């Protein structure tokens, strides 16, 4: 709900998720949201109700993350960026700030999100990629994976690609983009859609690896999509390979 008479500020940030238990505030674990709230209190002199665009799992990174809050503090946006970064640890940085309409909400105004899962497709580890990818030694055929998993594009019930025990009444989502790109030994898997279930991207990646190993066929994938049977899918790929890549908002939602 909008807070009448206050500025609504949209922050764009990026973070390394290794040291955090996701974005969402937790009483017994350190989260990105908690650290950013503390920084905001140090700059603005009081607490701010911070709305994030998405929950992220423990250990997951964000190349782009958006959060908004209302404040009556007059600090200019560019000065706020510098001030927040002076209060933040090296693994979290605010990259942009802008005023948005009073009713804008970082989560509910979202049009689409895009995730990237990074795989080091090599038997040899790379110290510069440690903690930012999943090392998988068996050769991946990026074109085959992209073609096989194109059946996921469109609107489907993705309950078979979500973690068992996660309670939600709506498991229908729309995927608008799926691509697999290779640069040397690095394979990036991009998934774009209107929303994602808990662990959905990581389970899709784990299923891709099973297909690549010949343990699942294209027909098995279709059966999984039709039945929603989680046991037919691959394992949940490790968190460190996943990053929230981009957040998309309708232009009119950002216009003041």
Residue 5 has what pLDDT? 55
Q: What is the mean pLDDT of residues 155-162?
A: 94
A 10 A CB-CB count for 229 gives: 12
Is the predicted pLDDT of residue 146 greater than 50, yes or no? yes
Residue 2 has what pLDDT? 45
Q: Which of 52, 56, 53 is nearest to 21 (CA)?
A: 56
Residue 169 has what pLDDT? 77
What does the mean pLDDT of the chain come to?
A: 94
Residue 255 has what pLDDT? 85
Highest mean pLDDT: which range of 39-53, 87-101, 163-177: 87-101
pLDDT band (50, 70, 90) for residue 166:
low
Say if residue 180 is exposed, middle or buried (CB neighbours under 10 Å; 0-12, 13-18, 19+): buried
Kindly report the length of the chain: 256
User: Among residues 57, 91, 141, 185, which one is catalytic?
Assistant: 57
Give the strand pairing for 112-120 and 134-135. parallel
pTM, rounded to two decimals: 0.94
Please, what are the domains in the chain?
7-109 (3.30.70.580), 114-245 (3.30.70.660)
Residue 221 has what pLDDT? 94
Residue with tokens 């068996």: 138
CB contact at 8 A, 8 and 70: yes
Q: At what angle do helices 200-212 and 218-227 cross, to 10 degrees?
A: 150
Judge whether 141 counts as a catalytic residue.
no
Residue 182 has what pLDDT? 97
Residue 109 has what pLDDT? 97
The DSSP line for the chain is ---TTSEEEEEEEEE--TTSS-SS-BTTB--HHHHHHHHHHHHHSS----EES----TT-EEEEEEEEEEE-----HHHHHHHHHHHS-TTEEEEEEEEE-TT--TTTT--EEEEEEEEE-SSS--TTTTTSSEE--SPP-HHHHHHHGGGG-EEEE-GGGS-TT---S--EEEEEEEEEEEETTEEEEEEEES---TTHHHHHHHHHHHHHTTSS-HHHHHHHHHH--GGGS-PPPPGGGEEEEEEE--HHHH--
Residue 165 has what pLDDT? 62
């Amino acid at each position: 709900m909008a807070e009448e008479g206050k500025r609504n500020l949209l922050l764009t940030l990026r973070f390394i998720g290794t040291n955090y238990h996701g974005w969402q505030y937790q009483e017994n674990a350190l989260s990105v949201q908690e650290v950013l709230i503390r920084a905001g209190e140090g700059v603005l002199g009081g607490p701010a109700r911070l709305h994030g665009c998405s929950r992220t799992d423990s250990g997951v990174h964000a190349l782009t993350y958006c959060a908004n809050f209302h404040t009556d503090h007059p600090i200019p946006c560019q000065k706020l960026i510098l001030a927040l970064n002076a209060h933040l640890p090296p693994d979290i940085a605010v990259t942009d700030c802008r005023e948005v309409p009073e009713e804008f909400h970082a989560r509910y105004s979202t049009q689409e999100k895009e995730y990237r899962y990074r795989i080091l497709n090599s038997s040899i580890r790379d110290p510069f990629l440690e903690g930012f990818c999943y090392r998988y030694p068996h050769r991946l055929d990026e074109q085959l994976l992209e073609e096989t998993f194109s059946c996921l594009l469109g609107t489907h019930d993705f309950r078979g690609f979500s973690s068992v025990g996660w309670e939600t009444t709506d498991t229908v989502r729309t995927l608008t983009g799926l691509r697999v790109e290779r640069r040397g030994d690095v394979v990036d898997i991009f998934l774009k859609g209107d929303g994602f279930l808990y662990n959905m991207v990581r389970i899709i990646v784990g299923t891709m690896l099973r297909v690549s190993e010949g343990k699942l066929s294209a027909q098995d994938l279709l059966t999984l999509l039709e039945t929603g049977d989680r046991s037919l899918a691959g394992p949940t790929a490790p968190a460190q390979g996943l990053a929230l890549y981009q957040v998309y908002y309708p232009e009119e939602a950002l216009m003041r």
